[in-house]
Structure 1
């Protein structure tokens, strides 16, 4: 690997330095431990807790669920607190292929900002048809489901989804429909080390990718527009476009403090200038003991922020570092600091 342009900064708590010094310090450490073992009780240092971080992500998703009651026979419209609107046709809720009657409970999660994506562990990583993985820019992520009693229901007729109002200046005509893991189901995406990718959708089964439609509107504050699309099954959908870049690209490695690994923390790459482009560093190189990504397609010269989160002794901890990507980039994170979730949300959504 080339190293002449690598970012080696803040090496005090780096795994690179730790590995270099390990053999030289081994004898000294053993001698020190032996001399101190009888002096006083060992001081226990709080360790990162991957289970607690996973629970935080899952709790954040559960707490974001909004519920609505509809009559199955008539269908109807639900509107989320952020403005997402879903319209259901009559008799479109089913169980084992048969329409149900009576009231049904419709569930909705709407995600429109980078902090929500990170703290609900729903980053924007897409998978191409050939298996290649690339970052996506999102115009909204949505979970839609329906239940009746203890039964999860099926969607028998297409439902229409309308995003929150969007300023004309922020519209992106290249948005497509993506599904979590290709089918909208993310049961295997709960762990912090899980890989959950967005795949281009074919909701109407015609063998072609689905594009979002843009519709003009008029509200109290003037003209606006919305993204609109249809879904044929319940689960997670995402309005996205590929983060296409034609210049030179490179790999990036994140060197984290020695006590951290893929089982107890999460590391993300936030693209500056893109308020909804957040890639998960979801590969942990056990030989190098660094985080990286699948595809080696990070644009050289791109300005980004590295975000790392962990749960330590019941407290959310974080690190945020800004950098400009160079060839064969290595970014070193030396320490994390405690923070409240609301304060971290404000920091992330305030990034450039």
Structure 2
């Protein structure tokens, strides 16, 4: 019987093995690239960009900044495009406590509507003396500053601020002066600008213009920075906590969620607490009135595009509002939607 022997000595030079090896290599490469393509698709899936959203807010504030030139020795009045007027006394611009001379640049931002509040991230959330936070109703938010060359200036004398004209039917005699800066994390706190130990109230003055009679809110400031004409938004009846359940990819670092109060064109609170256990947004105070009609507004920046969701609801006990998705939109279109809310 003949015995067939197989020779494995030169296996490395075998054409069959070589062909098999090549086929295996090709298959491996195809699998590798297929995997890479799959992984690439996962990596390139657009994700919410928190830094881009913050940059949008900052750019919006920068774009709204108006500049005026005044003679420091004379002072004078500046008037914003929305009608805000600020009056400076002579020699009231200082550097290290000493009045400066020559021209100075005065800067002004004026915010009067809900869309501007949201897109400049200047919502109306106030902080009480004890640290509790509550919603505010605003009659205007203002940033006022001055510089000379590279130097930021001080305000040595009180300056007077006058709001844009207000219809008598819309006047609110309870408006007070609030401050907001980095020390309050963007929340507004009542202020005592004149140092008399009392919180400052806005004064109402009658006026006469081409369109007839009107009124303005007026107050004084002793320092540059942000001020806000506000009153506490008082609620009656039972209250509850509100939770906003957002899509899984969103959290406190990459989006912003706001609570808009129906019937109040300048009451907008940011839902600035994120419960990491529940993975939901909420607020500090748990004082949302049951039965209140509101709109939830969520914004995010995704792949260079502003995205949003707006949902109307009526608050119930232990309310949980679910936002399932966002849609792309232009900023101009979103401004219209927000300012058209009830």
Q: Same fold per TM (> 0.5)? A: yes
Tell me, in whole angstroms, the C-alpha distance in 2 between the residues paired with 1:234 and 1:46: 41
Tell me, in whole angstroms, the C-alpha distance in 2 between the residues paired with 1:258 and 1:94: 51
Tell me, in whole angstroms, the C-alpha distance in 1 between the residues paired with 2:331 and 2:35: 41
User: Shift of the alpha carbon at 1:39?
Assistant: 9.2
Tell me, in whole angstroms, the C-alpha distance in 2 between the residues paired with 1:230 and 1:38: 66
Which of 311, 314, 319 is the matching residue for 1:324?
Answer: 314
Deviations 1:58-99 (A, max 9, x none): 000011000000000000000000000000000000000000
Local SS of the residue matching 1:41 = helix
Could you tell me which residue of structure 2 aligns to residue 107 of structure 1?
Answer: 107
Distance 1:78 1:287, change over 3 A: same
Could you tell me which residue of structure 2 aligns to residue 119 of structure 1?
Answer: 119
Distance 1:337 1:175, change over 3 A: same
Tell me, in whole angstroms, the C-alpha distance in 1 between the residues paired with 2:308 and 2:38: 30
Deviations 1:102-125 (A, max 9, x none): 000000000000000000000000
Which of 181, 188, 194 is the matching residue for 1:204?
Answer: 194
Could you tell me which residue of structure 1 aligns to residue 21 of structure 2?
Answer: none
List runs of 5+ in structure 1 lacking aligned partners. 1-33, 190-194
Tell me, in whole angstroms, the C-alpha distance in 1 between the residues paired with 2:35 and 2:169: 69
Which of 331, 334, 337 is the matching residue for 1:344?
Answer: 334
Could you tell me which residue of structure 2 aligns to residue 192 of structure 1?
Answer: none
- Aligned residue runs from structure 1 range 150-161, under 5 A: 150-161=150-161
User: Shift of the alpha carbon at 1:45?
Assistant: 1.3
- Aligned residue runs from structure 1 range 228-243, under 5 A: 228-243=218-233
Could you tell me which residue of structure 2 aligns to residue 9 of structure 1?
Answer: none
Tell me, in whole angstroms, the C-alpha distance in 1 between the residues paired with 2:332 and 2:221: 33
- Aligned residue runs from structure 1 range 3-152, under 5 A: 38=35, 40-42=37-39, 43=41, 44-152=44-152
TM normalised by structure 2 equals 0.88
Tell me, in whole angstroms, the C-alpha distance in 1 between the residues paired with 2:198 and 2:278: 41
Tell me, in whole angstroms, the C-alpha distance in 2 between the residues paired with 1:239 and 1:247: 26
Tell me, in whole angstroms, the C-alpha distance in 2 between the residues paired with 1:179 and 1:38: 55
**Residue 291 (structure 1) aligned with residue 281 (structure 2):** yes
Could you tell me which residue of structure 2 aligns to residue 20 of structure 1?
Answer: none
Tell me, in whole angstroms, the C-alpha distance in 2 between the residues paired with 1:300 and 1:74: 54
Distance 1:159 1:328, change over 3 A: same
Distance 1:40 1:218, change over 3 A: same
Q: Deviation above 6 Å: which 4+ runs of structure 1?
A: none
Tell me, in whole angstroms, the C-alpha distance in 1 between the residues paired with 2:112 and 2:307: 23
Could you tell me which residue of structure 1 aligns to residue 323 of structure 2?
Answer: 333
Distance 1:45 1:217, change over 3 A: same
Local SS of the residue matching 1:246 = coil
Deviations 1:297-327 (A, max 9, x none): 0111000000000000000000000000000
**Residue 263 (structure 1) aligned with residue 253 (structure 2):** yes
Deviations 1:124-175 (A, max 9, x none): 0001111110000000000000000000000000000000000001000000
TM normalised by structure 1 equals 0.86
User: Shift of the alpha carbon at 1:41?
Assistant: 2.6
Paired positions, count: 308
**Residue 300 (structure 1) aligned with residue 270 (structure 2):** no
